[in-house]
Amino acid sequence: MRQYRHTLQSYIIILALCTITISNIPIGYASEMDTIPLTQPDHRTFALQSIEKKLIHFSYPITPAYFRQNAARIEAENPYLDGITLSPGCCTMGLFDYTDWTTDPLYLNLEPLQNLDTGNLRYNFLVLPPFNDQTPRMSYWNDAQWEQILRNVTSVSEAVRDAGLSGIVFDLEHYTQGGGANPWDYAVMKEAPYTEAQTQNKVRQRAAQVMEAMLAVKPDMIIFNTYMFEYLPKDWNLADEWMNGWLDALGPQAMMIDGRETAYYWADSGKWFSSHRVEQFVDPVNLSKFREQVQVSRGIYAELAYHLYDWGDYTPPFNKLQQALRWEHNVYMSLATADEFVWLYADRLRLPGMERTGTGNAARNPLGGDLTTIYAPPDDPQWNGDVHTRIAYAKAKYVNGDNLGWDIVGGDEANQPFNFSSSITAQITSPSYGQTFAAEDTITITVATTGDDIRKVEFYQNAQKVGEDTSAPYQYTLTRQGLGNHTLMARAFSVNSERSTSGPVVIHIQQ
């Protein structure tokens, strides 16, 4: 497993409630998660969740020219998508490149998107990794390099604006290494005579310069980061400084997104609610911006959920039905706990004429990384393992305010016991979906449960725990609510380690 230097501070446990019985599913046994420490946020102002959650398909091979030619078909064959990511040329362009992008025809090739009707694909992004696969690594201290980097940032921001894109996706992982450098590792990026503290300050300064250059062109830019302040590996010790630098210069119309790529690896339903916004690495001067202008997202990975790659410790012994159920579960839980955007990574979805090949994928994946092997359900109707069908099921359940129907307990690692839990249920009976309240109103949440030996019900507002009740009638009272939309959910626990998560209830707070 990956070793992380950040200790999770905000553990908020929630487990899924189910309304249907799942039969004939071989299961392990449940593991108890209640021993995880719980730290409540010290404030009650939450980033407001959107009623309309948005699914974005993240994939590197989609070029602007390809999108223009195939946009209508992509939308028709993937009706659950709200947007996609685009790349001017796979692995040829990175944020830290200091060559002149305008001299290469692959760079900024976004002109085909101007005046393009993208239908329901309304939230589209340009994806940028740190490096391309040719330019030697940059130096945070080289002003000449950074003058060119900022010119490139201006150019790409103009292209994003003129193409009508929502913003950029900044993929923090350094796939092509940029001359062997990890830009977030002080041990790699340090230069004499500068101290670590001086280097941290310089990283923060450079980040602010990049943000200022982007917003000078497109003040309402959305900057979608695959990671932000949580779950960063030990050798990413400069990434916090970069994110704080971006917050330093974040303008009032702009928004940042914490993509939470680590949700790729989750199976246990509680993981989606065990952390939402982690503030311990945010500079106090940026806390108000962080709370008001940073959204939490979730990343979900189709090939991983369906075990198309050998993921070692991240590959629990799920059978084919359980893999399909896990995928639907992960989509639903991500929609339930993201503030607005959920990004779906897949090497290949229903992209007409698009193939993703490579010796790296083929070596670790006997199926070749091709999702077509699970597009159509097999003859066994119980499996129904179609990737797209499961996404559609999950999104429809969430949008309709229904619960998923099962919860996964455990199963995050290959040797961890697991259980698909469906013997208890919970439902929010009050308030009702779409109900409107005044900011000064007192709101009582009431939850009805079914099943034996319920030991407690937990209450969640915008994916953060606000309280619990250990006896029926299960109730919790909210006061001092911020304006806008709030998503309420509840979670039930039995003495037998069964769990269940209610469907969402969205309420609106007005003056």
Model confidence pLDDT, tens digit, residues 14-49? 222 222 233 223 333 222 222 222 222 222 233 445
C-alpha closest to that of 287 among 84, 47, 511, 476: 47
E strands, 135-210, are 167-170
Q: What burial class does residue 400 get, using C-beta atoms within 10 Å of its C-beta: 0-12 exposed, 13-18 middle, 19+ buried?
A: exposed
- Report all structural domains of the chain as residue ranges with CATH numbers, in order of start: 54-405 (3.20.20)
User: How distant, in Å, are the alpha carbons of 224, 288, 302, 450 from that of 339?
Assistant: 13, 17, 21, 29
pTM: 0.84
Query: What SS3 class is residue 507?
Result: strand
Measure CA 150 to chain center: 28
Token reading at 456: 């407690």
Model confidence pLDDT, tens digit, residues 395-447? 999 999 999 999 999 888 777 889 999 999 999 999 999 999 999 999 999 99
pLDDT of residue 472: 95
Model confidence pLDDT, tens digit, residues 126-175? 998 887 666 788 999 999 999 999 999 998 999 899 889 999 999 988 76
Angle at 154 between CA 60 and CA 208, to 5 degrees: 95
The type of residue at 274 is S
Model confidence pLDDT, tens digit, residues 295-349? 999 999 988 888 877 767 777 888 888 888 999 999 999 999 999 999 998 866 6
pLDDT for 78 beyond 50: yes
Report the C-alpha gap between 13 and 458 in whole angstroms: 9
Asked whether the beta carbons of 507 and 434 are under 8 A apart, the reply is: yes
Report the C-alpha gap between 279 and 10 in whole angstroms: 9
Mean pLDDT, rounded, for 106-110: 66
C-alpha closest to that of 59 among 82, 90, 96, 93: 90
**Confidence class of residue 215 from pLDDT cuts 50, 70 and 90?**
very high
E strands, 325-481, are 341-345, 407-410, 418-421, 425-430, 436-438, 443-450, 454-461, 464-469, 474-478
Mean pLDDT of the chain: 80
pLDDT of residue 448: 98
Model confidence pLDDT, tens digit, residues 240-262? 999 999 999 999 999 999 999 98
